Chain A
Amino acid sequence: MTILSGAEILIECWKKEGVEVIFGYPGAATVDIHHHLGASSLRFVLCRHEQAAVHMAEGYARSSGRPGVVLVTSGPGATNTVTGLAGANMDSVPVIVFSGQVSRMLIGNDAFQEVDIVGVTRGVTKHNYLVISTDRLAQTIKEAFYVATTGRPGSVLVDLPKDVLSGQAEFDYPKKVFLKAYQPHLSPHPKQVAKVASLLKKAQRPIIYAGGGVISSGASEELLALAERLDIPVTNTLMGLGGFPGTHRLFLGMLGMYGLYRANMAIQNADLILAVGARFDDRVTGLLTEFAKEADIIHIDVDTTSIHKNLDVDVPLVADARQALLAILDNLGVAPDYPVATRAQWHDTISGWAQSCPLAYDPEPDSEGFLKPQMVIEALYRATKGKAVIVTDVGQHQMWAAQYYFYDHPRQFISSGGLGVMGFGLPAALGVLVARPESTVINISGDGSILMNIQELATVAQERLPVKVAILNNGTLGMVRQLQHLFYDRRYVDTTLASPDFVKLADSFGLKGLVAKTAAEMEETIALALAEPGPVIMDFRISPWENVFPMVPAGQAIDKMILRPLELP
């Protein structure tokens, strides 16, 4: 057995956990770690703001399925991670933040760069730890990785006092973790499985409502098999996009507030809903008392807390999504023992909704000649043959990216869902590129969101990460402006944004910048950007008048959609 310093133990633990890359920013409290990290085989990605470091780790984790690791210093370094921790936790992303802390004897003294980060992050993490001695370090790190990556994954923070890092202890990495109070329930109950299978076989108008849990449990193939086996249409949540092939004949598109009309109508008229790895979020259900009144609801989720949280369900099945779907498939056998004729009628009904209210926009430029944003997304889809990894920020562009690009593969659409973090996209896209350097990664952003972590262009330049940033630039905070347009008497208060010249901005970081004002320029810009081996910033000037439709006004039933724009003033 070897005696190592706390900093060395930390690095050895990371290696044992298979960590290859760490995102972060150094400071006085973590300089010991960086000292040893430089001599190790691990890669450190130097970001320009700790919030972005967490988003990078999220992008890394969301695109690879492996935990994302962050290292920041004490005080402001640690508090800057709060938004990332909260977003990762809400979207069930395994991220572990290691924060420096002042020495133990100084804790509680209001020391320089001291903050009670364990107290601050208690409510926004799955769990957190203050390491109180160097001999507890290895055990704590083992637990942190275990907690972050198992059950419903989430964010974990480990706070490391400086003297714990400089202190010494015997290094012995535990092989196993046993937490008496934390034992995720993964295997489905056979009785419940049988019940689910029999309900699925009997259903006349079934629909599968699949969320991010399908992706995090790796259940896409099983989901596809089940849908095809019983010929059941599938709708995805925002987090679930890519979990079911976006170009499949059974796919209805996203549901919910900005979902497709046919998806929302199918939910509202279904007689059976199979919810898999989704949590009946308010953006999905709209007015709860009017949600899917005719349907029996089956809810598969690994998180017991999600069951009956927003909605009382008929058949809960607490299990890992993949294990549950496998068990259901096993139970079904192979015979086509479902009402085939009524299923055909059900598909016809859904097609009717799709035809009466298709997802559509007017592709002509607006009266001032500005491009339509949907057109940009469609052009990106064509140019990338649907194969790019799309990383979004939050706002109108996010919804258009969800509606007009089709995701055939899990982990192909990366977005901040639950917390809705503007500024997520650029750093998350960098994390994706670190995990999957061979992929084409496009950050679709807005002129609002992109400026929330614009400093990461320095990281792009320094790390030479070939991200393609597509800014849908409409000069406004579009999603809020949309609410003002529809519900606040068209008074556009505090939503006009003056932006920098993005081409010059890119240039100042040594990056390529392109601007497109017409359809022809748009095609050319996209072709140039994709042909360029390095990073490119694309500034698409789009119409400020274009809004996201269809839309369910907050607090309404999801079949009460606003289908098309109001007449313009």
Chain B
Amino acid sequence: MAATKKLMSVRRDWRERDVRVVLAALIIAVATVATIALFASQLQRTLVSSASSFLAADRQLEAENGRPVPEPWINEATERGLETGRMVEFSTMVFGSDAFQLVSVKAVSNEYPLRGELEIQGSSEGSRVQVENGPAPGEVWINPRLLRLLDIQLGDTLEVGSRMLTVAGLVLREPDGGFSLSALAPRVMMHVDDVASTGVLQEGSRVKYVYLFAGEEASLERYYQWLQPQLEPSHEWEGVRDGETFSRSLDRAESFLLLGGSLAVLLAAVAVAVASRQYALSQRDTVALLKTLGLGSSGIGRLYLKRLALWGVTGMVGGLLVALPLFWVLTRLLSEALERPVPFQLDSAALTPALLTAVVSLFAFAYPPIRRLRNVPAMRVLRSQPGETGREALPDMLIAIVAVFGLVWLYAGEVSLVISLLGGLALLLGALGVLGWLLVATLRKVRGGGHAWRLALVGLYRHRRASLSQIAVFAMTLMLATTLILVRTSLLDDWQGQLPDDAPNHFLINIAPDAVDEVADYWEERGQPLDQLYPMVRGRFTELNGQPVKQVVSKDQRVGALNRELNLTWMPSLPADNVIVAGSWFEEGQTDGVSVEADLANALGLVLGDELTFTIGSDKVTANVTSIRTVQWDSMKPNFYMAFPPGGALTNMPATWITSFHLPKDRKSELNEFSRRFPTVSLLEIDNIIERIQEIVRQVTQAIEAILVLILAAALVVMAAVVSATLQDRQREGALLRTLGGRQSLLVRSTMLEFALLGGFAGILGVAAAEAAVWALQFRMFEGAFSWHWQVVLPIPIISAVVLSMFGRWQLRPVLSVSPMLLLRRLE
């Protein structure tokens, strides 16, 4: 079957323009979707594991009641195949050669950390090393600042209670340090078995026992179900979800990536649809001949089905060949950003949507027109038959719309995304209908003449069906591309705005009320003014409208805020980055009421007027919800779930003060002096974390940019598909015009004008539809306020008009350079 085989070979196919477009579109779609899906799942995994490493485990059980949990609980976990570890945390004074310092001790068992990395420096000249376990018995590792504060060296001894322990290393990074404001004084890390011998812990000491668990997600869940009924209020079970800080930012990146993927799918679908219709039209002569030579219509059907399958396989293989190296690069970037190895791990489930995209695109968009080839009459070999009217394509449209819905939904899992995009598209098609009607109504009266303008309008009218469908496809493409560009712009602006270079990178905690002014002056004098200072009272939310809160909202166990002590505050005015979403902020002089953070209010079902009771030490305070506000958690400033008015219910409660400020890297050494001057103020250094977040944002931005390029490539493919569809017709017309004596310059000008009009119309429609889609998206996915994007809205129609008219000029090239006779012959 050499000849038949050759007729159907992909290599031969590749030489045909329309097939190239279909294959290119498929490859781009598969590549984009695969890259995005792989990267998103990688991001997800990495995030969960870095969130896990904030706990140094997959789950933590904290006992804040100063007593260890019953031994059987831990044995049960071990029996269930979970890894376990334990830590004891407390504050105490330690003594160096002749200085002392309040430190925050973390005594860890051999297993620590179960997740994440611990980095230390073992000698004064040594480099950072990653270690698998904490210090050995008899040794301590300390925060480098303690060397100066206590005036000691590595190798010296440190007196902890009644024990002398050797300083064997400096803690540079601990997996579970950092984000928690309860990490108070500088760190001293020791072995848990040494704790008893120090004699520091007495009955009634403030101490926290922490148990670490790691293992299979399902086993952890089942263990928690077993454990939960036995937990007391002072026990807190913490999972990765609570460790979120920058996972919020990355959520948005993920949404964006998914949106990008959906757009790639849509663009590819349009390209495949246009090109395969074109291809089907071009195949009619071949089909007629094959029928004449004796191939039946079922044979024709099989032949083209085989070919579609070949395209599908080529698209999948090609797409994956593009996606894998790209994904590898992104993985490298991510690993650089996180400063730790991220395994190049192919999640085969993530590949399914990509491969499905190829199959659905082919069968929903390419198959219908190609299937109709079976109906081409054999008589066509003798006389050209009337072509398709376009009416046959109507059912195709329906299939296509359903398929697009399905794909985007499958892919993004976001109904609102599908609705926004399709809403934009529907709007666009509606506008197009009106435009079409106007075109027919107004241009009908224009008569051709020697004038380029008039010729261009006549041209538009004469090709009105082709013109409208071209405008439709261009507008659709522009809409999708513009949507993406707009969303990218607002996403990136938001991100960069969220962590400016002078974002606070240090917290001061535990400032005694009478030291507040002194601390503020200290930094003011050194040209480093503090952000606002907030009082902080630790309390537990215990009753809602007089009922124990754990009964009322027992269903949602994931509200971590219920399990632990909350930081309560009072503040005179609403912080600039908070937004009231219900109720109103406290009036001047108002002393009753409390303002609740919106996510928490949502999770607990709190509404305005609810009566909240907090237990603070042995006291209880009660207040009614007067406002609900959103909070910028990732602002690196102190944020509070509960805010009271000054002079309100909290006033007489024991408070310490907290603030954050920005200290440039080169002035880090000044912290030692500060700590000596204010030994009881805790300093939380988050500059490393901020740098990491900024780095991640930069790298993810690069990833997004790379994907954007892929998607714009898809848009170009669509454009090429559409324009090449009418190439021959236009060239033939141009040739005829010249044969009949039309001047070249007239032909050039009118064609360029015609295309400029096409491009302009398409640009205006596309941008308008994009704005509509972004408007809808902004509400649902990115929670931002909508604003017009003039800097994008204005240039796009102009660029599209210019580019298209250049393209029209370029298309005419063969018509102008060759004798009309030759051209007509060639186009025969």
Chains A and B form a bound pair: no
Chain B contacts to A: CB under 8 angstroms:
none
Chain A contacts to B: CB under 8 angstroms:
none
